[in-house]
Amino acid sequence: MPIEIPAIEAVGLSYVRNGEPLFHDFSFTVKKGSYTAVIGPNGGGKTTLLRVLLGLLSPTSGSVHLFGKSNTTREARRCVGYVSQRGGLIEPTFPATTQEMVTSGRTQRLAFWNRLGSSDRQIVEEAFDMMHISHLRHRVFSSLSGGERQRVLLARALASQPDLLILDEPVDGLDPKSREEFYEALRHINAQGKTILFVTHDVHRLAKEADSAICLRHELVCHGAKACLITGTQLHDLYHPTKSEFIEHHG
């Protein structure tokens, strides 16, 4: 039986900034089709890890492969859709409409001399339908609520037809209703076979949503595909709480 190539394979990753290691000798794999959360405190290296995985930062040492290809190659990067925290703080006066934002996710897959064809427009429409944002089509992006913006940005990522979605605290700052809608969309996307890696501070929600976890505070504290028992000492290392927490992942 052939060995399945993982969606993400990180080997011996280290990243040093201003002489201080944010993480050191960090190795893990993420299986295709999995729903993996990265948890840990502020300053623990989570966002930097995502940027290294995306190829936006070069690790001090180690390597990253996405679906068997170096993350520095164009072929690997085309496999990834990215949604940043709070829309990457897009300028409030940014004049693009929702239609233009989502369509831009498709145009990045085209050579610069090509125009959108009928199949490209159909893919954009499918992204609108999947995220239930067709009614926002002609709205200016900057006029949308936080939850609406995140759904538009996720639709833009989906329009590029990625195999892997990487999300950096995508529900941070959203109201409870918007947060539930976003998680529901992620469950649907994952059920269709997309691999999801997302950063979250919500350990309790992780137990409900994800099937594996990477717990990070400058080093790999816990990485499990089935279950991860974090002891009181380990939780103190992560968040400094007072009780043990069991993160149970769906088998």
Structural domain contains residue 209: yes
Greater confidence (225 vs 179) lies with: 179
For the segment 177-207, what is each residue's pLDDT rounded down to a tens digit?
888 888 999 999 999 999 999 988 777 777 7
Task: Give residue 89's pLDDT.
Answer: 56
Lowest mean pLDDT among 27-41, 153-167, 204-218, 229-243: 229-243
Structural domain contains residue 145: yes
Q: What is the CATH number of the domain that holds 218?
A: 3.40.50.300
Judge if 149 and 228 occupy the same domain.
no
Judge if 133 and 169 occupy the same domain.
no
Judge if 155 and 171 occupy the same domain.
no
- In total, how many domains does the chain have? 2
How far is the C-alpha of 11 from the C-alpha of 171, rounded, in Å?
A: 29
Task: Give residue 232's pLDDT.
Answer: 45
Judge if 57 and 170 occupy the same domain.
yes
For the segment 40-92, what is each residue's pLDDT rounded down to a tens digit?
777 778 888 999 999 999 999 999 999 999 999 989 988 999 998 766 556 66
How far is the C-alpha of 2 from the C-alpha of 248, rounded, in Å?
A: 29
CA distances in angstroms from 114 to 81, 98, 108, 109, 227, listed in the order given: 21, 22, 11, 10, 47
